[in-house]
Structures are given as C-alpha cells and as structure tokens.
C-alpha cells in the first residue's frame, strides 16, 4: 500500500504543478492581451516623419511637427516660428 500511496501523492503533486503552471500561463496571457497599449502619447505621433535640421538653431525637427516654409523653392523646416522669423531676418 505504501507504493500506491506514493503513486497517488505523485499524481496529486503533478496535478498541483500543472494547475499552477496553467494558472500562471493564463494570468500572463490575460495580462498581455488586456494590456492594450494606452493612447499613444502626442509625442509619438508628432515624432513621426523624417527629421530635418533647423537651419537657424541646428535642432532636428520631425517633418510632422516642424514649422514649414518654402524658401527659394525649397521646403525648409524650423523648430518654431521664432526660428523661422530669425531665418527671414538674417
């Protein structure tokens, strides 16, 4: 009977281990699926696009958020209207 008891204890042990693994796996899969990315921050969308160098201050600005100005047929990108005005003043 000792052997049978050990066998049952082993089965219970395996069942408990499997239960723990399944529970943990389910928890993690739920956490992954329900963890939908929050509304992407404004910076992420604004940062989209090519980076262009502001000719006035040298800052790199994304074409999505830059201040654009056509200069001699070329589209210039500025980090701010201040830089754009400085460019024209120069």
Q: Which residues bind Zn ion (CB under 5 A)?
A: 54, 56-57, 59, 79, 83
Q: 36 vs 70, which CB is nearer to Zn ion?
A: 70
Rounded-to-10 torsion of CA 55, 57, 59, 63: -40
Could you tell me the smallest distance in angstroms from the CB atom of residue 76 to Zn ion? 11
> Tokens 């281990």 belong to which residue?
17
Could you tell me the smallest distance in angstroms from the CB atom of residue 42 to Zn ion? 20
- Helices and strands, counts by H and E, the chain: 3, 4
Could you tell me the smallest distance in angstroms from the CB atom of residue 56 to Zn ion? 5
């Amino acid at each position: 009977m000792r052997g049978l008891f050990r066998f049952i204890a082993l089965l219970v042990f395996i069942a408990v281990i499997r239960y723990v693994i399944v529970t943990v796996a389910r928890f993690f899969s739920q956490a992954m699926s329900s963890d939908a990315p929050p509304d992407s921050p404004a910076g992420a969308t604004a940062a989209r696009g090519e980076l262009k160098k502001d000719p006035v201050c040298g800052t790199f600005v994304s074409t999505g958020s830059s201040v654009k100005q056509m200069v001699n047929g070329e589209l210039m990108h500025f980090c701010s209207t201040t830089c754009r005005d400085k460019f024209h003043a120069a």
